[in-house]
């Protein structure tokens, strides 16, 4: 693994402007290579979700740089990722966020494929992704509200994997599930990563889950941040 898929260099984030400006993420640096999984841990409010949003390209950092596959992805106050959206996909804490409520799961996946991988066979990609995510293909015709929590989380994972990302960002993907389902879903998640060669950035509060990742990045209060 010579080249990192995702490089996060001295990235920090602030909310507010002027006198109300407040740093919520201290400069953070780490890299992930293909097939690797990194656990991001830290106290509540330490900026984990903020970091995940910046890696996903939903928010611009206030300093630092993010590169994906060697290409510039985000610079201070600037997002340049629109061309290569496909490369970084995510599974949110609330799976409903990844799926449009009035669309079926199949429609959500097909819309994303049509935009991000034009020309590829949607049917084929959907079948592949549902298998990887252990999502029951019989449920593809349902809307998110008609799925259980575990099913919805797997649907969100399938939707993310359907466009063949290089990096998968999962922000506490199991915190809304009961312990048993959470265990099953996270085991599947790690297995899928190993199988598909995607790099995983996993935000979690669960030490056991973190221990099963390749490495752990600990985010502390917005004054320091160190790499284990």
**Segment 85-104, which members bind ligand ATP (CB under 6 A)?**
none
Binding mask of the shown chain, residues 37 to 66, with x at each position contacting ligand ATP by CB under 6 A: -----x-xxxxxxx----------------
Between CA 130 and CA 114 the distance in angstroms is 17
In a 3-state reduction of DSSP, which class is residue 66?
strand
Q: Of another protein, Mg ion, ligand ATP, none, which one does residue 64 interact with (CB within 5 to 8 Å by kind)?
A: none
**215 with 39: CB under 8 angstroms?**
yes
Among 27, 57, 64, 222, binds another protein (CB under 8 A): 57
Query: Minimum distance between the CB of residue 194 and Mg ion, rounded to whole angstroms?
Result: 25
Measured CA to CA in angstroms, residue 16 lies from 51, 136, 153, 225 at distances of 16, 43, 32, 21
The partner residues of 170 in beta bridges, in order of sequence, read 91, 202
Q: Compose the 17-46 pattern: x for residues touching another protein by CB under 8 A, - for all others.
A: xxxxx-------------------------
The shares of helix, strand and coil residues in the chain, as percent rounded to the nearest 5, are 40, 25, 35
Our finding on whether 119 is near another protein (CB under 8 A) is no
- Note the residues at the interface with another protein (CB under 8 A): 16-21, 56-60, 77-79, 82, 85-86, 88-90, 92, 94, 96-101, 108, 111-112, 115-116, 160
């Amino acid at each position: 693994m010579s080249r990192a898929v995702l490089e996060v260099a001295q990235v920090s984030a602030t909310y507010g402007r002027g006198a109300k400006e407040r740093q919520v993420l201290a400069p953070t640096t780490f890299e992930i290579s293909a097939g690797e999984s990194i656990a991001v841990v830290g106290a509540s409010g330490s900026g984990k979700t903020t970091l995940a949003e910046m890696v996903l390209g939903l928010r611009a950092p206030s300093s630092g740089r993010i590169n994906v596959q060697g290409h510039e992805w985000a610079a201070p106050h600037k997002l340049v990722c629109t061309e290569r959206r496909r490369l970084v996909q995510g599974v949110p804490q609330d799976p409903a966020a990844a799926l449009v409520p009035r669309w079926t799961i199949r429609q959500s996946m097909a819309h994303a494929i049509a935009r991000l991988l034009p020309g590829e066979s949607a049917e084929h990609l959907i079948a592949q992704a549902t298998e990887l995510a252990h999502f029951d293909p019989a449920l593809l015709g349902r809307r998110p509200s008609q799925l259980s929590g575990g099913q919805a989380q797997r649907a969100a994972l399938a939707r993310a994997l359907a466009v063949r990302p290089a990096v998968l960002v999962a922000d506490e993907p199991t915190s809304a599930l009961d312990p048993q389902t959470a265990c099953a879903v996270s085991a599947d998640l790690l297995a899928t990563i190993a199988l598909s060669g995607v790099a995983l950035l996993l935000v979690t509060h669960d030490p056991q889950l973190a221990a099963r990742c390749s490495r752990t990045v600990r985010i502390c209060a917005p004054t320091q941040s160190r790499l284990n």
